[in-house]
Copies of this chain bind each other. A is one copy, B any other.
Amino acid sequence: MQESYDVAIVGGGVMGCAIAYQLTKAGKKVVVVERNTMGSEASRAAAGILGAQAEIDEEGPLRAFALESRALFPAFVEELKTYTGIDVQLNQKGVIKPARSQEEAVKLKHKVMEYRDWDAEVRWLDRDQLHDLEPLASENLVGGMYLPNDGQLHAAYFAEALAVVCRNVGVHMKSYCQVYRFLLDRNAVKGVITSAGTILAEQVIVTSGAFTKHLLPDVQVYPVKGECISVCADRPLLTHTLFVDEGCYLVPKAGNRIVIGATKVAHDFSKQVTAGGILFLLEKAKSLLPTIEQTTFEDSWSGLRPQSGDGLPYMGEHPDYRGIYVASGHYRNGILLSPATGKYMADLVLGKKVPAYIHDSFRLDRKSVDMEGIK
């Protein structure tokens, strides 16, 4: 007797769970198949920044989609709390991108003006204003861009809450189940062959993040390992997230904790945290917040962010196989983009009308994408 579902989702991270949740609420019979435990990969490793403005510098479909997703969080985390009891520590105090030189300040001021066209709350902080907001920030910071509408949450709790909410609304959650390959009838998917046997499904959505190429070698997604650490202070050191472009952010969490992320190691599937990674993070963090030296070191970990060839996520049906969908390649913005991805992918699979800008920008066979695959 083979199990049969409307939709099988491969990958139990925030993407897979967010989609499964929406589809189940829409009445579908859904299974999530995860080779490890739910939310155990990139999802739980994220620093949790909801940086629609901090992370996505350029205007375009990705930022539009990110802003849409960011707006979903307040209601979504309430919903998760209600169904799971888990508080994901949504923090809406904003992100500051500090300038460490006049040169950086100039660039950031331009960005402030650009943002203010459509977000009047964005503003430039001069040195004093910055230190008024963050009195312990380094004296070397000459100012900063304040993005009050970006936020952050506790990514591991969010990933757990998404998995639990799925269980609790009736999604079939199969942990420790490896998908070997698709079950195909000509070019139409009929299910997946897994370590637990064949699972029949009319539609299959691959949300395997950095591991997407395992099943779909022609989808250009590769891992960019990010190492993170967390420290705990004996008083509040930081109120807002501090975010520097070339890869260091300080994210204040409940209980006077700070998450410091993250390195970028492309094409590395290992999850090992290197001594060099920690050294890099501590040096950067000290340059932004010198008092970090006195905090207690708590933990270190890493995650494999799924990066795509052109920097945009893949969301859509596979051009060669009917019924195979992909939602992957969200890189550093997986947490941020998960609520909107859940809604969009559910609508797509359900055959609802979807916004053209999303469909066209993120579909798998978009122009910029060479489906022949990369390295």
Residues of A participating in the B interface, judged by any CB pair closer than 8 Å: 84-87, 89, 91, 160-161, 164, 167-168, 173, 175-178, 180, 195-197, 211, 213-214, 217, 229, 231, 234-236, 253-256, 267-279, 282-283, 285-286, 292-297, 300, 375
List of B residues within 8 angstroms of A164 by Cβ: 254-256
In the complex, which of the residues B84, B175, B231 contacts A255, with contact meaning CB atoms closer than 8 Å?
B84
Across-interface contacts of A217 in B (CB, < 8 A) = 180
**Chain B, Cβ-Cβ closest to A223:** B195
Q: A180 touching B89 by the CB < 8 A rule?
A: no
Given A195-B269, A234-B167, A269-B177: A297 and B300 interface contact (C-beta under 8 Å): yes
The residue that A292 contacts in the complex, of B178, B275, B292, B375, with Cβ under 8 A, is: B275
Which applies to chain A's interface (DSSP): helix, strand, loop or mixed? Answer: mixed
Pick from B180, B213, B255, B293: contact of A85, CB below 8 A: B255
Q: Which residues of B contact A213 (CB under 8 A)?
A: 180, 195
Q: Which of B178, B235, B292, B294 contacts A168 (CB 8 A)?
A: B235
Complex Cα distance, B278 from A285, in Å, reads: 13
Instruction: Choose one: B173, B180, B197, B300; the contact of A214 (CB below 8 Å).
Output: B180
Knowing A87-B87, A180-B214, A180-B217, the reply to whether A275 touches B293 (Cβ < 8 A) is: yes
Complex Cα spacing A178 to B300, Å: 24
Q: Which B residues are in CB contact (< 8 Å) with A278? A: 278, 282, 297
A-B contact pairs, 11 of them (CB 8 A): A86-B255, A168-B235, A175-B270, A195-B269, A272-B297, A274-B295, A274-B297, A275-B292, A275-B296, A278-B282, A279-B283
* Residues in B whose Cβ lies below 8 Å from that of A300: 297
